[in-house]
Amino acid sequence: MVLDKKHIENHNSDELAAHTRRLAHTRSEVNHTDAIIEKLKAFQVAIPSWALGTGGTRFGRFPGGGEPGNIEQKLEDIGLLHALNRSSGAVSLHIPWDIPSDYTALKKLAAHLGLAFDAMNSNTFQDQAGQAHSYKFGSLQHMDRNVRKQAIAHNIEVIRHGEALGSQSLTVWLADGSCFPGQLNFRKAYENTLESLKEIYAALPAHWKLFLEYKAFEPNFYSTTVGDWGQSYSYVNKLGEKAYTLVDLGHHLPNANIEQIVSILLMEGKLGGFHFNDSKYGDDDLTTGSVKPYQLFLIFNELVEGMDARGMNPTRDLGWMIDASHNVKDPLEDLLQSVEALMIAYAQALSVDTRALKAAQAENDVVMAQEILQHAFRTDVRPLVAEARLQSAGALNPLKLFRSLEVRKKLTAERGFQQASGL
């Protein structure tokens, strides 16, 4: 389904008077609003190809209608999101769930929809039909060199697919670890993993990056071989300058100070990118900003400060992606909410009075430091996010327009009740 520009224009003219009132108020409260709006306009978040179908848990899945049945339909769905919010201009593909059959045609479709190919994702956490060796006891860490070779070859194949599409990075997330004490020799698992990663790293094209994602637990429940940011940092430091750590917000132990992790990784020049989601208990894959919006703001506050300190370009120098799953929501509505939450957190962070904060820190004025951050968090910056969309020809209220156009009903009429491919 392709969105008619007229729909957006009509929606915006209906919403304009109220938006203009709200924007004037925000401009009276926040400094440098035009500079903030420009940064918001440039910010793009990649949508993973697996987030477009209804998610599930190991207990079951409750699919909705109109899910995309192939990679082209997945791109069309992201194109629809991007037309609405102008901030979802990239797709992150998963191999083997989304193996392209015709690179040229897919690149043409992506260009038509205004989408870039973000990081490619490999999969050695499950066995595929016809696979010679099983990943039941790990992939890059495996005791058997033949299993490791198979997993390395898969990652290199993913790089080749990505090269053909114009992607420039590979995200490696390993389920490797152990479920019981004694099952694994930690040092040997580390050494095998490092050796395997080195072979994958050697196959990276010159301008590519390798992102190594960590996760504290699950599917292994005793140890994970890339279990936290320190372990990822240890690997990527040994691999070289093209290797970076990737932070998935849901992959920490409860109450971890993620904003501090982000700050240190940025300082070390080893923060590669993000998988955004939210959680209450573990890797819940909830909508970004739905449970802990203040934490999201604090993360963006460190990002803005750290990227500025290193002279980084927020849109080019880090990989931004959503990694969430949606069991009880329309996936497209959920993604609109996630992107909106990211834009709001970014706008809040950009509105922090950094000079006053530095002064408060220098004087150990703890109360004022907290006041400055919370003032930015509590100021309604949503009109700035909406204005960025308006200036980029997106919709002032994407979710409202999505509902009024009955997009899901039309997609269901078009595609039926098929299950999203690859899930």
Please give the residue ranges that form the binding site for Mn ion (CB under 5 A).
248, 275, 323
Smallest distance from Mn ion to CB 54, Å? 18
Smallest distance from Mn ion to CB 51, Å? 11
Q: ∠ CA 328-319-195 to the nearest 5 degrees?
A: 105
Q: How far apart are CA 206 and CA 112, in angstroms?
A: 27
Q: How far apart are CA 84 and CA 6, in angstroms?
A: 12
Residue whose structure tokens are 């927020």: 314
Q: Measured from the CB atom, is 113 or 303 closer to Mn ion?
A: 303
Smallest distance from Mn ion to CB 89, Å? 20
Q: How far apart are CA 353 and CA 302, in angstroms?
A: 13
Phi/psi at 235 (5° precision): -65, -50
Q: Measured from the CB atom, is 135 or 214 closer to Mn ion?
A: 214
Smallest distance from Mn ion to CB 215, Å? 8
Structure tokens, 316:
């080019």
Q: Which amino acid is at 78?
A: I
Burial class (CB in 10 A: 0-12, 13-18, 19+), 417: exposed
Q: Measured from the CB atom, is 118 or 323 closer to Mn ion?
A: 323
Smallest distance from Mn ion to CB 173, Å? 6
Q: Measured from the CB atom, is 89 or 273 closer to Mn ion?
A: 273
Smallest distance from Mn ion to CB 286, Å? 13
Q: Measured from the CB atom, is 74 or 94 closer to Mn ion?
A: 94
Q: Measured from the CB atom, is 46 or 407 closer to Mn ion?
A: 46
Q: How far apart are CA 133 and CA 148, in angstroms?
A: 9
Q: Is 406 left (phi over 0), alpha (psi -120 to 50) or beta?
A: left
- Residue 423 CA neighbour count, 13 Å, CB half: 27
